[in-house]
A and B are shown apart, each in its own frame.
Chain A
Amino acid sequence: MRVQVLDLIKEYDGVRVVDIEGLFFEEGRFHVLMGPNGSGKSTLLEIIAGLTKPEVGRVLYGDRQNDFASVRKRITLVMQRSYLFNTSVYNNIASGMNYRGINKSILRERVLKWAEALDLNLLLYRNVKTLSGGERQRVALARALALEPDLLLLDESTANLDPESIIIIEKVLKDFQRESGTTIIFVTHNVFQAKRLAESACLLMKGSVIEEGESKEFFNNPHSELTRGFLGGEIVY
């Protein structure tokens, strides 16, 4: 699902944390959103996911430029600080599908499919309270993927994982995106990961878009001094 961000301003306590004139996420692509801490990445995803409203501007979804309400059930966000329901891994992965009234046998099939993909099948009947941080993060991902959304928003979803899990998850996401044609917006401040994943990339600083473009161009030949500094790890925060 295509996403158009238009003239967006979001303020917290009078401070502008997002200020974007225009930003487009093309359909079916893997978009990576980068930026230093506090640059407004999470806030932007929350606005796109309908969790908070901007002071000014709007977001349009799909080719027919729908508003959020009409596409809500085709979008999901895995929050940076994701929350798991106090129940089993199975029920967590199933929860979103339950709310959408998905038929029980399809539901079961999908829970098993995504548990398998994210290496959770041995944990299915454990309460999430007993899981490690990395396991919890994979449950949150499985819960989102099981919805097979048209727009998948991921906020630092591999931040607490070990290198091996990161590679597995990156592959899962890539495969899913290729097969389903889902649009993914993936937030990270790991430049190496961004290079591995991105089809197009965007750098956000102090709430504004510094540079965006095709992955190749963005990483090999950035136009902005700031982007070069960020990619080279020269900007110290």
Chain B
Amino acid sequence: MENILQGFQGALSLIFSGNREVYSIIGLSLSVSFISVVISMVISVPAGIVIGMKEFPLRKAVIMIINTLMGLPPVIAGLFVYLFLSRSGPLGYLGILHSPKAMIIAQVLLIVPIITGITMAAVKDRGTLVKNTAYTLGAERMQMLWILIKEFRTSIGSSLIAGYGRAISEVGAVMLVGGNIKGYTRVMTTAIVLETNMGNFDQAIAIGIVLLILFFLINIILQRVQGA
């Protein structure tokens, strides 16, 4: 009990004194996950719209794979990226294992199915109606895509936030491919694991508090977006 109370005190002072290490860890977490979401969005939103609305061979199989990947255990994504990026792997020549880039790749792998899956489910029922309406009003292909994004902005927005939440809270994959290198690839989750193992509860709790607050914020935004 003593431990925990002391930990909280230390944590608060770390947060409010603007401890540089803590802040850089938080900053890296936020930015890596943000970039991952942006990259995933560019891939997944159009993909979700196409898969949700178009008939094509093996569509059922593709949907099943996406739904399965939505719950992909992060360590598996990590392992996969690790094998590809390790020195002997097919992309080893890039030399980006244990860098933020590797972490972003792993996170993209985790988030793409989520954004794709949610977008796909959203457009499945009403997407064709929206598309046909836009078509009769004279919209071109690109305008149509934009109209669909606008009409399904709530679901798409939710999927982006859900993706961000998954990325920033994930530990297994970024640990594996990032390597938890201090000042370089150490993010909130991996820092918590490390500091806890080393008995530095102040730091672990401080970062834990920030992560928790962030999650509250994410959920508040999510509810706002969904108009709940």
Residues in A whose Cβ lies below 8 Å from that of B133:
79, 82-83, 85
Cβ of B18 < 8 Å from any Cβ of A?
A: no
Instruction: Check A73/B138 contact, CB under 8 A, given A79-B132, A79-B133, A81-B129.
Output: yes
Please tell me which stretch of B28-36, B82-90, B143-151 contacts chain A, meaning at least 4 of its Cβ atoms lie within 8 angstroms of it: B143-151
Residues in A whose Cβ lies below 8 Å from that of B150:
85-86
The answer to whether A99 and B140 touch across the interface, beta carbons within 8 angstroms, is: yes
Cβ of A76 < 8 Å from any Cβ of B?
A: yes
Residues of A45-82 contacting chain B, CB below 8 A: 49-51, 72-73, 75-79, 81-82
Cβ of B121 < 8 Å from any Cβ of A?
A: no
Contact check: which of A51, A85, A95, A143 meets B135 at CB < 8 Å? A51
The answer to whether A50 and B137 touch across the interface, beta carbons within 8 angstroms, is: no
Total count of chain A residues near the partner, CB < 8 A:
22
Cβ of A147 < 8 Å from any Cβ of B?
A: yes
Total count of chain B residues near the partner, CB < 8 A:
16
Q: How far apart are the CA atoms of A82 and B129 in the complex, in Å?
A: 8
The answer to whether A72 and B151 touch across the interface, beta carbons within 8 angstroms, is: no
Q: How far apart are the CA atoms of A99 and B152 in the complex, in Å?
A: 18
The answer to whether A51 and B138 touch across the interface, beta carbons within 8 angstroms, is: no
Cβ of B197 < 8 Å from any Cβ of A?
A: no
Cβ of B3 < 8 Å from any Cβ of A?
A: no
Residues in B whose Cβ lies below 8 Å from that of A76:
136-138
Q: How far apart are the CA atoms of A115 and B157 in the complex, in Å?
A: 32
Binding site for A on B (CB under 8 A): 126, 129-130, 132-140, 143, 147, 150-151
9 additional A-B residue pairs with CB within 8 Å, beyond A79-B136, A99-B137: A78-B136, A85-B147, A86-B150, A99-B134, A99-B138, A99-B143, A144-B136, A144-B137, A147-B137
A-B contact pairs, 12 of them (CB 8 A): A50-B135, A51-B132, A51-B136, A81-B129, A83-B132, A85-B130, A85-B147, A85-B151, A95-B134, A99-B138, A144-B137, A147-B137
Residues in A whose Cβ lies below 8 Å from that of B126:
83
Instruction: Check A49/B138 contact, CB under 8 A, given A83-B129, A85-B151, A86-B151.
Output: no
The answer to whether B137 and A143 touch across the interface, beta carbons within 8 angstroms, is: yes
A105-143 to B contact mask, C-beta < 8 Å, 1/0: 000000000000000000000000000000000000001
Cβ of A96 < 8 Å from any Cβ of B?
A: yes
Closest CB in chain B relative to A161 CB, distance in Å: 20
Closest CB in chain A relative to B23 CB, distance in Å: 40
For B136, give the chain A residue with the smallest CB separation.
A77
The answer to whether B151 and A99 touch across the interface, beta carbons within 8 angstroms, is: no
Closest CB in chain A relative to B160 CB, distance in Å: 18
Q: How far apart are the CA atoms of A144 and B140 in the complex, in Å?
A: 17
Instruction: Check A147/B130 contact, CB under 8 A, given A85-B147, A85-B150.
Output: no
Residues in A whose Cβ lies below 8 Å from that of B136:
49, 51, 75-79, 144
Q: How far apart are the CA atoms of A90 and B21 in the complex, in Å?
A: 52
The answer to whether A96 and B135 touch across the interface, beta carbons within 8 angstroms, is: no
Q: How far apart are the CA atoms of A100 and B132 in the complex, in Å?
A: 16
Q: How far apart are the CA atoms of A190 and B147 in the complex, in Å?
A: 35
Residues in B whose Cβ lies below 8 Å from that of A50:
135
Q: How far apart are the CA atoms of A210 and B65 in the complex, in Å?
A: 50
The answer to whether A96 and B130 touch across the interface, beta carbons within 8 angstroms, is: no
Residues of A134-184 contacting chain B, CB below 8 A: 143-144, 147
Residues in A whose Cβ lies below 8 Å from that of B143:
99
Contact check: which of B130, B139, B140 meets A83 at CB < 8 Å? B130
Q: How far apart are the CA atoms of A232 and B114 in the complex, in Å?
A: 58
Contact check: which of A51, A75, A86, A99 meets B139 at CB < 8 Å? A99
Q: How far apart are the CA atoms of A76 and B156 in the complex, in Å?
A: 29
Instruction: Check A96/B132 contact, CB under 8 A, given A83-B126, A85-B147, A85-B151.
Output: no
Closest CB in chain A relative to B206 CB, distance in Å: 42
Residues in B whose Cβ lies below 8 Å from that of A143:
137
The answer to whether A100 and B129 touch across the interface, beta carbons within 8 angstroms, is: no
The answer to whether B151 and A100 touch across the interface, beta carbons within 8 angstroms, is: no
Residues in B whose Cβ lies below 8 Å from that of A49:
136
